[in-house]
Amino acid sequence: MALSRPFQYAQPKGALCCGSVALEGLVRRFGTPLYVYSADQIVERLGLFQQAFAGREHLVCYAVKANSALAILKLLAARGAGFDIVSGGELERVRKAAPEALSRVVFSGVGKTAAEIDLAIAAGILEFNVESEAELELLAARARRMKTRARFALRVNPDVFAETHPYISTGLREHKFGIDIRRALALYKQWAGNRWLQAQGVSVHIGSQIRSADPFGAAMERVHKLVRQLAAAGIALRSIDAGGGLGIDYHGCSFDAAAKVDEYAAAVQQALKGFDGMLLLEPGRFLVAQAGALVARVLQVKRSGSKTFVITDAAMNDLIRPALYQAHHEIVPVTPRRGRVRVVDVVGPVCESGDFFARDRKLAPVEPGDLVALLDAGAYGMVQSSNYNTRLRPAEVLVERGKARLIRRRETIEDLLAPELV
C-alpha cells in the first residue's frame, strides 16, 4: 500500500509543499514560525489503526496531549475516534471541538483533582483510568455526591521494559504511573461491590516512542492473565485499554506506517486471544507526528571558531523536543539552493545554550532570509510550546485536500499580557 508523505518537493520548481500547497505561500499569508499540518495524513493514520483492529470491537481514543488543536480533534471525532485525556482542560477541548464525542473519552493521569473528576462524571465519559487506591476512593466519593455510578479501569503497571528515552518510559515499577499489577487483583475484589463504582476494564500505557511491538505484546499478556484471574473470581471486565506509545521513525526515509500498525496489532491481538470484550487504543504521536512541520525563517548564519550556527526565528519555546529529550528532527530547506552541504548547529534566539534544534548536522546550504522546515513536528510540538523570553507562540495551519486554513492565529502581545496586573 503506497502511503502519502505529507511534505514533499514539488516538481519541477522544487519548493517544499504540504500535499499540493506550497509552504512559501503559507508563510506569505501567515508568517513564521508556522506549524503546518496535513489533515489527510492524520485521517490516513487513524484509518490504519481502525483497519488493523477491524476484526474486533475496538475504539481508538486519540491521546489529546500529543496535539490538542480543536480542528484536529474535530477531524478525528468526525471519523469515529474517541479521546484519551489527562486533564480537565483537555476535557473542555473535546467538549468544544466535538461534544458528541464526550461519551468516547477515557480520563488518564496520576493526579486528578476533585473538580476535574466532577467535570468528567457530569460529562458522562466512557471510563476513568485510575492510577492509585487513593484515587479510587476519591472517585467513589465524588460519584456518590453526584449520585452517578462512575466506570473505572485500573491502570496497572505491568513492569515491562520498553526501550525509549527515560523521560517517556512509564511501564516499570519504579515509575510514578499506575498500580502494581500484583496488587490489582485484590483492589478489584475490594471495590467491585461498591455502589458508586463500576469495574469496567483495565488499562496500561508503557511509554512513548516505542519502536518494537514486543513490549506491547508482553504487557498485554500480563493484562490478559489478570483479566482471566478476575473472571475466575466473578469479576467480568468489559474492556482492555492497551494505551498508546507506538513510535515513528524521526530519521524517516523508509518508514512503512501500515506495516508498523499491522505488526503492533498482531502482537496485541495475539496476546488477547480469547478476550472478546472491547479493546481501547490510545495512539497519540503515531497519528499526528509525521503530519506536521514547523516552518522557520533563517535570521543569520554566524561563524564562531570552527562552528557555524544557523539561527532561526523559531526556538525551543516553539518546539522543545530536541532540548528536552535530545530528539532528532530532520531539517530541510523550503526552497533548495545550489551549493555545498555544511555541518552546522541550528539554533533559536532564546537565551539558553539548550536552545538548539540540531548540533553538528549536515544541512543543505541556506542563507539569511531562507525558510527551513523541521519535519515530524506534529506531536508534542505546539502543545509543549511556551512564552519563554516573552515570545509569541506560532500560528497553526491545517491543509485538507489541497486547501489550507488557519486553525490558530499567531499570538499577539496583547494576548500574552492580558492576564497580568501591574
* SS3 of residue 54 by DSSP: coil
CB of 338 to ligand PLP, least distance (A): 39
Per the CB < 8 A criterion, the answer to whether 284 and 63 are in contact is: yes
Neighbours of 345 (CB within 10 A): 18
CB of 19 to ligand PLP, least distance (A): 23
Distance of CA 240 to the CA centre of its chain: 20
CB of 287 to ligand PLP, least distance (A): 8
Total residues interacting with ligand PLP, rule: CB under 6 A: 17
Burial class of residue 262 (count of CB atoms within 10 Å of its CB; 0-12, 13-18, 19+):
middle
* Residue 283 grid coordinates: 495512539
Q: Which is nearer to ligand PLP, 239 or 312 (CB)?
A: 239
CB of 71 to ligand PLP, least distance (A): 19
CB of 384 to ligand PLP, least distance (A): 12
* Residue 286 grid coordinates: 503515531
> Whose CA is closest to 331, among 250, 396, 391?
250
Verify binding: residue 63, ligand PLP, rule CB under 6 A. Answer: yes
Q: Which is nearer to ligand PLP, 208 or 385 (CB)?
A: 208
**What stretch of H or E contains 402?**
none
Instruction: Return the residue nearest ligand PLP (CB atom).
Output: 284
The contact pattern for ligand PLP, residues 303-342, with x = CB under 6 A and - = no contact, is: ----------------------------------------
Q: Which residues of 281-319 are buried (b: 16+ CB within 10 A; e: fewer)?
A: bbbbbbbbbbbbbbbbbbeebeeeeeebebbbbbbbbbb
Q: Which is nearer to ligand PLP, 32 or 170 (CB)?
A: 170
Q: Which of 46, 59, 64, 66 binds ligand PLP (CB under 6 A)?
A: 66
Q: Which is nearer to ligand PLP, 131 or 396 (CB)?
A: 131
> Whose CA is closest to 344, among 327, 362, 326?
362
Per the CB < 8 A criterion, the answer to whether 140 and 116 are in contact is: no
Per the CB < 8 A criterion, the answer to whether 69 and 382 are in contact is: yes
Verify binding: residue 65, ligand PLP, rule CB under 6 A. Answer: yes
Place of cell 508556522: 34
CB of 68 to ligand PLP, least distance (A): 12
* Residue 248 grid coordinates: 515513528
Verify binding: residue 260, ligand PLP, rule CB under 6 A. Answer: no
Verify binding: residue 116, ligand PLP, rule CB under 6 A. Answer: no
- DSSP-derived pairing of the beta strands 307-312 and 331-333: unpaired
The contact pattern for ligand PLP, residues 5-44, with x = CB under 6 A and - = no contact, is: ----------------------------------------
Q: Which is nearer to ligand PLP, 65 or 361 (CB)?
A: 65
Stretch of 90-98, 242-250, 258-266, 403-411 lying at the interface with ligand PLP (CB under 6 A):
242-250
The contact pattern for ligand PLP, residues 271-310, with x = CB under 6 A and - = no contact, is: -----------xxxxx------------------------
* Window 69-98: residues binding ligand PLP (CB under 6 A): 84, 86
Q: Which is nearer to ligand PLP, 158 or 245 (CB)?
A: 245
Q: Which amino acid is at 262?
A: D
CB of 300 to ligand PLP, least distance (A): 34
Neighbours of 176 (CB within 10 A): 10
CA distances (Å), origin 85, targets 106, 110, 248, 270: 6, 12, 21, 27
> Which residue among the candidates 17, 18, 61, 351 is catalytic per the annotation?
351
Q: Which is nearer to ligand PLP, 82 or 283 (CB)?
A: 283
Q: Which is nearer to ligand PLP, 275 or 380 (CB)?
A: 380
Residues whose CB is less than 8 angstroms from the CB of residue 20 and which lie 6 or more positions away in sequence, other chains included: 10, 402
Per the CB < 8 A criterion, the answer to whether 139 and 146 are in contact is: no
17 is annotated as an active-site residue: no
* Window 117-136: residues binding ligand PLP (CB under 6 A): none
127 φ/ψ angles, rounded to the nearest 5 degrees: -160, 155
> Binding residues for ligand PLP, per CB under 6 A?
63, 65-66, 84, 86, 108, 205, 208, 243-246, 282-286
Q: Which residues are marked as active site?
A: 351
